[in-house]
Amino acid sequence: MTRTPKPQSASTDLPTAYTPAEVEAPLYQRWVDRGYFTADASSDKPPFTIVIPPPNVTGSLHIGHAFEHTLIDALIRRARMQGYETLWLPGMDHASIAVHALVERALAAQGTNRRDLGREAFVNRVWEWKAEHGGAILAQMRRLGDSVDWTRERFTMDEGMSRATATMFKKLYDDGLIYRAERLVNWSPDLRSVLSDAEVIHEEVEGELVSMRYGSLSDDEPHMVVATTRVETMLGDTAVAVHPEDERYASLVGTEIELPLTGRRIPIIADAHVDPAFGTGAVKVTPAHDPNDFEIGQRHGLPMLTVMDEQGRIADTGTQFDGMDRFTARAAVREELRKQGRIVAEKRPYLHSVGHSERSKEPIEPRLSLQWFVKVAPLAQAAGDAVRNGQVRISPPEMAPRYFQWTDNLHDWCISRQLWWGHRIPVWYGPNGDMVCVGPDEQPPSEADGWRQDEDVLDTWFSSGLWPFSTLGWPEQTDDLAKFYPTSVLVTGYDILFFWVVRMMMFGLYAMKDHPSGAEPFRTVALHGMVRDQFGKKMSKTRGNGVDPIEWMDRYGTDALRFTLARGANPGTDLPLGEDAVGGSRNFCNKLWNATRFALINGATVEGELPTDLTGADAWVVSRLNTVIAEVDALYADYEFAKISDLLYHFAWDEVCDWYLELAKVSLAPDAPAERSQTTRRVLGEVLDGLLRLLHPLIPFVTETLWTELTGGESVVIAPWPSSDPKRVDRAAELPIEDMQAVVLEVRRFRSDQGVKPSARIPARFTGLSGHEAEIRSLLRLTEPDDSFTPTASLTTSAGVTIALDLSTAVDVAAERARYQRDLATATKELDQTSKKLGNQGFLAKAPDDVVAGIRARSAAASADIERINAALEALPAG
């Protein structure tokens, strides 16, 4: 790394104020142009790899992206500085459903739709849309400072990824792990497609619960009452179920009962799933339109009647309701049952949970449909075992049980979607009922001979599940795959632990089992929480509490946003976020800026060896720096970003800026010994150099600007990560400074209590002070007493140091005495009130524990205030 020594002079090229907008974009482009982010697969350095959780091609940067990318970038930047060959691989997901919704909306505005357009023309239209509008988030990632390798950008529909997806399907199919079957699925009538669980949002809605009578209308003849929130589905009932031990219906089990409106009779069956204590203890069974009923139907071999078409219209029931929309039919069926006297009860509104399409917002319809599935049992077993045996680590570890809940209870995965944008299922059907799966290197059968390809495309999560290895070139054995797989860590939200993480684990362990470095897609899964508003509520458009990270970056600078997000990133825990916190982080960046300007103006340097015989504040701050480096490294091992940020914040602000820079002014004073001044300049450079490198992964822009100005180095991006030198950790050197700090803090409190302005210079004399008198006088603005010194107040600190002060010209004694008398009256009143309550046994017996504890705390505080105020009154000069 090239380093040009900074001249030792009392000047700097740094402006007086930091303006993020002027430096961020040029700095980022310089980093890209110099190739700092480009990985080298031929390097001898050990690899450190992270693949980006691919954002949707339709998306723009939201606060959740900013949060996650900040954490990933911090890990990558630190690893780069540690000497790893780093690869952060960027890319986007093709987002089948989201893209369909956008493009079909545009087509509707033109008076057409995808079916009028045709499949090929529609797909071409989507590619045109992607070229014009897709990928806005990539430019926003640059704005955030993401140090991704742009030369390796991938898209889940690019040629290589499409080849990988087809290869995986073929491999699973040949191994008997993909099959086609009729199963109950989440169906979107609007899209006319299956939806994954990830695309279904469950919401509490006010519906209705209707109880209706099956069988005879005569009380003397067999009949049963069942209840439902979806009356229209009764047209597809194929049984009524009761609990096997419910004696009320024991005589009816095995018989049949009339199903109203249909002309059919259905059996009464016994199944342990039924709760005999709920309602009448009898439930209608509609196997083709309810998940629980489907399971009952399979156990009892019931017919599975699909009574709705792809658009959610009643179909094939042979009733007057055929052709009606499901919601229209709901009302019509209910009214027809009412006419027959079969409505027993209606509860309205009835609050219950209903799944809705995330995109179209419509209620999804459980529907029996012929689909493609992955047989997940052996894949999920391997994914669970990899964590149990320590092959893959989940951080924080308390999230592991949630992971096992998914892997140990996973149902077969429906992977087909009735859409046109996506990876088309590579299966062909012949004229004689033949079926063949075709790999990417195989010739598909001829359409001229009557063969046709499956119309469906694969679930987006299928190709996303291949992301850690397909992006590195699989199925080809590329240099990237050999060097950078397995990836080092996956940083992602706990909310997609199942939808993405488990799938990547299943596919990676399955497809990469022969990889020499291991089959697991990542060594560690580092889970973070969700960003919420400052009150802890989920951000949403309907609540109007969402934030645009770009706006905050414009207002406060990128580093301020990043530092705020990192400072709230406790593993697996949600982050409440408010704008005030971002403003506070901007102030922190400004603090660093001003501290570095001060150091440069006073000749701080990084040149030359750091002396080994440091003393006083110089030895203290170097010891603290090396301690902090070791603590930061330990916290990074557990992905404790919040603790890292907080540690560095307080070290920078409290110890370096508030203490060391102030103490350094004594050593840098014109009358200070030259050798001492030079040592302090070198220590200033050492401490700021280390601090800026420690902070760089979190706040890259301001640290780059300051570090290059301080050191003359090429870039902090490629500077070595600081290492802790145990020989520099000197607890014995820290103790005297801590004693000095205690004296200063106690005297400051005393001055404040006496009403002395911080700027006032006070004559003072010390007794029992062991050292650092010059520094203490400088920090406290205490002047040397002259021959006329007459102390009017004194203070003995907890360390036994006595300070006599002349406050005669610094305090309006009468005004201060009056102020203290008012404060004393208030504290005395508070003590009286709390003492009465605490002395009331009746109150103590009835009041909650937390209320009593609060009153005790108030009483103790009042007592402490009275003691403090009386001491201050005694210390006031006579007059």
* pLDDT at site 365: 94
Q: What pLDDT, on a 0 to 100 scale, did the predictor assign at position 665?
A: 93
Specify the pLDDT at position 545: 72
- How buried is 629 (Cβ within 10 angstroms: 0-12 exposed, 13-18 middle, 19+ buried)? buried
Mean pLDDT value of segment 267-281:
93
Does residue 276 have a cis bond before it (omega within 30 degrees)?
Answer: no
Give the pLDDT band of residue 21 (cuts 50, 70, 90): very high
Residue 635 has pLDDT above 80, yes or no: yes
- In the predicted structure, residue 630 carries a pLDDT above the cut 50: yes
CA dihedral 73, 74, 80, 83 (to 10 degrees): -150
pLDDT at residue 850 in the model: 84
pLDDT bin (cut points 50, 70, 90) of residue 614 is very high
Strand order in the sheet with 343-357: 223-228, 200-215, 343-357
pLDDT tens-digit readout, 747-784:
999 888 888 888 899 999 999 988 889 999 999 999 99
Please give the pLDDT value at position 542.
61
Give the mean model confidence (pLDDT) for residues 411-429: 95
Give the model's confidence band at 64: pLDDT under 50 very low, under 70 low, under 90 confident, else very high.
confident
CB 872 within 8 A of CB 820: yes
Q: Is 606 within 8 Å of 710 (Cβ atoms)?
A: yes
State mean pLDDT over 533-555.
Answer: 80
Asked whether the beta carbons of 77 and 147 are under 8 A apart, the reply is yes
Tell me the average pLDDT of the chain.
92
pLDDT at 805 exceeding the cut of 80 = yes
Read off the pLDDT of each residue in 91-100 and give the average, rounded to a whole number. 89
Query: What pLDDT, on a 0 to 100 scale, did the predictor assign at position 572?
Result: 87
**Is residue 142 predicted with pLDDT exceeding 60?**
yes
418-436 mean pLDDT: 95
Task: Tell me how far apart the alpha carbons of residues 835 and 856 are, in angstroms, rounded to a whole number.
Answer: 9
pLDDT at 300: 97
Q: pLDDT at position 540, please? A: 67
Rounded Cα distance between 100 and 126, Å, is: 8
Distance from C-alpha of 798 to C-alpha of 396, rounded to nearest angstrom: 42
| pLDDT beyond 80 at 7 | no
Is the alpha carbon torsion for 515, 517, 519, 525 positive or negative? negative
Model pLDDT, residue 5: 44
Q: Kindly tell me if the per-residue pLDDT of 497 is higher than 50.
A: yes
Range with the poorest average pLDDT among 346-350, 389-393, 689-693, 696-700: 346-350
pLDDT in tens, 443-490: 999 999 999 999 999 999 999 999 999 999 999 999 999 999 999 999
Q: How far is CA 342 from CA 207, 214, 314, in A?
A: 20, 7, 21
Nearest to 566 by CA among 81, 39, 73: 73
Mean pLDDT over 866-872 rounds to: 85
Confidence of residue 879 (pLDDT cuts 50, 70, 90): low
Asked if residue 571 has a cis previous peptide bond (ω within 30° of 0), the answer is no
pLDDT > 70: percent of the chain: 98
Taking residues 704-732, report their average pLDDT.
97
Range 625-648 average pLDDT: 98
DSSP, collapsed to helix, strand or coil, labels residue 552 as: helix
Q: Rounded to two decimals, what is the model's pTM?
A: 0.86
pLDDT-above-90 percentage for the chain: 76
> Quick one: DSSP state of residue 88?
E
User: Is 845 buried (19+), middle (13-18) or exposed (0-12) by CB count in 10 A?
Assistant: exposed
| 8 pLDDT higher than 60 | no
Query: For 806-825, what is the mean pLDDT?
Result: 80
Q: What one-character DSSP code corresponds to residue 639?
A: T
In the prediction, which pLDDT does 874 show? 81
Between residues 324 and 61, which one has the greater pLDDT?
324
Higher pLDDT pick, 133 / 312: 312
Overall average pLDDT of the 115-144 stretch: 90
Q: What is the pLDDT of residue 754?
A: 81
Over 50: is that where the pLDDT of 221 sits? yes
pLDDT for 878: 67
pLDDT, position 10? 54
